[in-house]
Structure 1
Amino acid sequence: MRVVIDGALVESPADLHQVLAGPLDFGPYYGRNLDALWDRLSRDVERPVEIVWENAEVSRGRMGDEAFEAIASVLVRAAEEDEPNAPDERLTVRFT
């Protein structure tokens, strides 16, 4: 599965959680915070999945460096944990 985030439409962390929750099927009890994001990405999301955050710098500018980096670090950390896995069992993340 490939999930594309259009950074031109993401102005806040809440926007980002909304964009990911649907396609990755986070369910109705998703907490919409960094801990919940980590839990879903590291345990619940079926692999393979590629997350592509297009226009990431636009999102960074709108939500601020601190919020952007906090979310990006969760995405990157989840991808790094999957690096030893076979390609069809990985979560990957790209920022463009």
Structure 2
Amino acid sequence: MNKAIFDFERIGTMDDFYIVAKRQLNLPEHFGKNLDALWDSLTGDIELPLAVRFENMSMSQLEIFDKLIQLFEEASGELGEAFSFEYYLRKAV
């Protein structure tokens, strides 16, 4: 199974996420950098099976990236065993 790990210590905005996602998920050149385009790519363009993991998310990032997290959770439900998604909060120091 392929893996894509997103480290949210290095991702602060949706633009940052899309830059990393294009590389990590091998998104097509025509990728539109919005949630609708991401959904289309997750459900039609990416190579499956795939496990996606968001790491080091802060509590504020949970709010900032709420719609993104929901989209990945929905994709996981839609694609079944071929696609898994999980996210983890940053450990307190």
Q: TM-score range by the shorter chain?
A: 0.7 to 0.9
Structure 1 counterpart of 2:83, from 66, 84, 91:
91
Aligned-partner Cα distance in 2 for 1:77–1:29? 23
* RMSD (Å), alpha carbons: 1.6
CA–CA distance in 2 between the matches of 1:6 and 1:60?
A: 12
Give SS of 1:22's match: helix
Is contact 1:38-1:78 (8 Å) kept? yes
TM-score by length of 2: 0.85
**2:46 — aligned with what?**
45
- Which residue number corresponds to residue 26 of structure 1? 27
Q: Which runs of 5+ in 2 are unaligned?
A: 89-93
CA gap of 1:59–1:13, structure 2 versus 1, over 3 A, is farther
Quickly say closer, same or farther: Cα 1:75–1:59, change in 2 above 3 A. Answer: farther
Per the normalisation by structure 1, the TM-score is: 0.82
Amino acid in the other structure paired with 2:76:
A
Q: Give the one of 74, 79, 85 matched to 1:82.
A: 79
8 Å Cα contact 1:8/1:58 also seen in 2: no
Query: What amino acid does structure 2 have at the position aligned with 1:95?
Result: Y
Percent identity between matched residues is 25
8 A contact 1:11–1:59 mirrored in 2: no
- Tell me which of 62, 67, 72 is aligned to 1:70: 67
Runs of 4+ deviating beyond 6 Å: none
Greater per-residue strand proportion: 2
